[in-house]
Amino acid sequence: MRNANINTIFFDAADTLFFIKQGLGNTYASVAKKHGGNPDPNHLRKAFSKAFTSAPPLAFGGVSDEERKVLEKNYWRGIVESVYQEVGMFEKFDAHFDELFEVFRSDAWEIFPETKEVLTTLKEKNYKLGIISNFDSRVYDVMNNLEIYEYFDTFVISSEAGHAKPDPNIFHLALKEMGADPKQCLHIGDNIYNDFHGARALGIQALLLDRENEYESIGKQHKISNLKEINEFLD
């Protein structure tokens, strides 16, 4: 029997619906090697984690679409420059970064095996589906390329919203765009702070996607290891 309380389901995007198929370090390294660099993938991954964690939120409110695209690319350029200042800069960095930025618009990503099946089932059951993601405008191209864009009724991304999860404002904006009551919504994502606690702070039900069983402190009723388990929660 369907859970009558839920009519709207929000998803995080990266690492929830899709992932970097070669891993971040390998993807960065493969592009760098084409431009004369030879970084170690493990060093890249660690340097990226450090740079990304210390960066400001990916959020630009009150600007035009064209301005936003410039701000988005400059944001990521700053992070990638920090990465290579850590692991070793190389001469053709600029051309490398331009290609890397486009790789993460398209070829870098792959959907999880169950993603499309789960989204299809939810749409057939007439749930309204939305995206709440700390992502930039490339997410539309990524999801089009992965053939999952059409499943979603609304997209709220941090670079457009001007707020990034777990800021309540990005959730409020998503609720407003969907015309949804928090008590009738479910949010699913892989980040315990941004997705799980961020949604629950507004009275939105949340499931933590914990594929590697990292968060033993979260009760089993509040987490899933695979998107297919959403159906068990709903039924």
Task: Give 10-residue mean pLDDT values along the chain (235 residues).
Answer: 77 98 97 96 97 96 94 98 95 96 97 98 97 98 98 98 98 98 98 97 97 91 96 90
CATH of domain 22-103: 1.10.150.720
In 3D space, the residue among 10, 54, 35 whose CA is nearest the CA of residue 154 turns out to be 10
Alpha-carbon distance of 18 to 47, in angstroms, equals 22
Q: Which helix (H) or strand (E) holds 48?
A: helix 41-54
Using a 10 angstrom Cβ sphere, with 0-12 exposed, 13-18 middle and 19 or more buried, the burial of residue 164 is buried
Q: In what order do the strands lie in the sheet with 8-11?
A: 154-157, 128-133, 8-11, 185-189, 205-209, 223-224
Q: Residue 61 gets which letter from DSSP? A: -
Q: Where are the domains of the chain?
A: 8-19+109-234, 22-103
What was the pLDDT predicted at 16? Answer: 98
Tell me the CATH number of domain 8-19+109-234, given options 3.40.50.1000, 3.30.750.24, 2.60.120.620, 3.40.50.300.
3.40.50.1000
What was the pLDDT predicted at 61? Answer: 86
**Residue at token pair 């709440």:** 132
pTM of the model as a whole: 0.95
